[in-house]
Amino acid sequence: MAISISLRAEPSRRLTGARAWIVAAAALLVLVALGVCASLSPLFAARRVEVRAGTHVPRARIVELSGVSRGTNVLWLDEVTVERRLEAEPWIARAEVVAEFPSTVRISVIERTPVAVASDGVHASLMASDGTSLGVAKRDPTMPTIRLAARGSVDGPAPGPEGAARAVGAMTPALRDRVNRVLVRLDGSLEFRIEDGPVVRYGVPSDVAAKARAISRMLAWADAQGERILRLTVTAPRAPAATLAQ
């Protein structure tokens, strides 16, 4: 009799265990559903959008570009996506977006620095220190002018102003202020015209930091020695060459 009772009870225990798992799974699903509903509630709707901006992109434009508005769900906000959206604006070099629960979004942007005006004789563009075009520019006598070669050549299209802008951007503000213009030749090499100074054969826009230091050192040496440099070559920045006035 004991053996017979035990055999009949075994399926019952298995059924009871299965029911327990079903109940537990159902309870978990209910909890997840309640959590999702709570996360979508107005409790997490953005009520404050704080912006730390620069000078060229207005606060209202930053908010518009971000896509964040009153009512945006802070809990589900994808900060990285918003940052990439903001950084698509040429003036914005870097954006940082932080969601603070329950209802605040903080946006900080760092703007690019304009360093030159590029011109092909027809159009003029304001150029940033990293080579990014910031849009149509008016002539600014306080900035170096990047002169582009004629469009097109037998070997293909003419080089653009990006490399020249990076070369100017690598310079200190004091040196940059002495640059009148930069000529971009068809082979991609650059030639700088320094105010009250030499014509600088720069070569291609590589090693821009080293070449900027070489130009600064040579000009400082000439000023200290009372010499006048007519032509300066920094194609090899560790071994610059200068032609002095007699």
Which CATH architecture describes the domain 42-111?
A: Roll (3.10)
- pLDDT category of residue 128 using cuts at 50, 70 and 90: very high
Q: Which of the four pLDDT bands, split at 50, 70 and 90, describes residue 121?
A: confident
Task: Determine contact, residues 197/212, Cβ cutoff 8 Å.
Answer: no
DSSP state of 138: -
Phi, psi of 242 (to 5 degrees): -130, 145
With tokens 């653009």, the residue in question is 160
Q: What percent of the chain has pLDDT over 90?
A: 60
SS3 229: strand
Give the pair of three-digit tokens for residue 230: 């007519």
Q: What is the model's pLDDT at position 102?
A: 83
Instruction: Grade residue 149 by pLDDT with cuts at 50, 70 and 90.
Output: confident
CA distance 86 to 171: 28
- pLDDT tier at 62, thresholds 50, 70, 90: very high
Q: What is the pLDDT of residue 70?
A: 79
What SS3 state is found at 188?
coil
pLDDT at 201 over 60: yes
Length of the chain in terms of residues written: 246
Average pLDDT over residues 203-230: 96
**106 by DSSP, 3-state: which?**
strand
pTM more than 0.85: no
| 207 contacts 163 by C-beta, under 8 angstroms | no
Per-residue pLDDT, 152: 57
Answer whether 157's CB lies under 8 Å from 189's CB. no
Determine the pLDDT at residue 41: 46
Angle at 59 between CA 53 and CA 63, to 5 degrees: 110
What's the gap between Cα 45 and its chain centre? Answer: 29
Cβ pair 95, 103 in contact under 8 A:
no
Average pLDDT of every residue of the chain: 84
Q: Enumerate the domain spans of the chain.
A: 42-111, 114-244
Q: Can you give the pLDDT at residue 25? A: 54
Structure tokens at 158: 């003419």
30 — pLDDT class (breaks 50, 70, 90): very low
pLDDT tens-place string over residues 37-60: 444 445 657 788 899 988 899 999
- Top mean pLDDT of 68-72, 73-77, 238-242 is at 238-242
What share of the chain in percent tops pLDDT 70? 78
Supply φ then ψ for residue 218, to 5 degrees: -70, -40
Output the pLDDT for position 131. Answer: 95
Return the pLDDT at 26.
Answer: 53
- Domain range 114-244, CATH class: alpha beta
